[in-house]
Amino acid sequence: MSEENKDIRFIFHAFVHDTNKIYPVININYQQQIVSCIYENNVKDYPFSNVDLLLSTRCNDNNEKEIIEGTVVRSLYSNTKMLICFGEYTAYCPVDEQWMTNIGFYALDENGNEMPLGPINDWAEVLGHSLVDKSFHQTNIPGEI
């Protein structure tokens, strides 16, 4: 992570409905209800109604591709497809020997199992994004982004 990004708490991307693409967000204006994105080396504003905001994990896969909410990855160990989600999930804590509810990023596998990301750059390969490539909705990965 670069030095200038260490203090940034959240990094957003926007899925723009009209273009069916994801762009980095540089500003969110709540008064004007617009999201400013970097589009082909320019800044372009999109109304809230035309975008879905996606949170960055601030992690990359083993090929240095950024992983954001809605990314579909493949486990390098099990070859399982997983959807990267943000929200409430349940995971087993071996130290406390109990299931615990957590809030944050997690991976959702093809059987609906939720698991924390852990060192995702060691085990994941980005396949695409569920909002850009609708074919990922044809898989058994449950859930909606």
Q: In a structure prediction context, what are the per-residue pLDDT tens digits for the chain, which is 145 residues long?
A: 455 555 668 899 999 999 999 999 999 999 999 999 998 899 999 999 999 999 999 999 999 999 999 999 999 999 999 999 999 999 888 899 999 999 999 999 988 899 999 899 999 999 999 999 877 765 555 544 4
What tokens appear for 21 in the block?
A: 């693409």
Which helix (H) or strand (E) covers residue 28, if one does? strand 21-29
DSSP codes joined into one string, 50-108:
GEEEEEEEEEE-TTS-EEETTEEEEETTT--EEEEEEEEEEEEETTTTEEEEEEEEEEE
Model confidence, pTM: 0.83
Within 13 A of 102's CA, how many CA atoms are on the CB side? 18
Amino acid letter for position 42: N
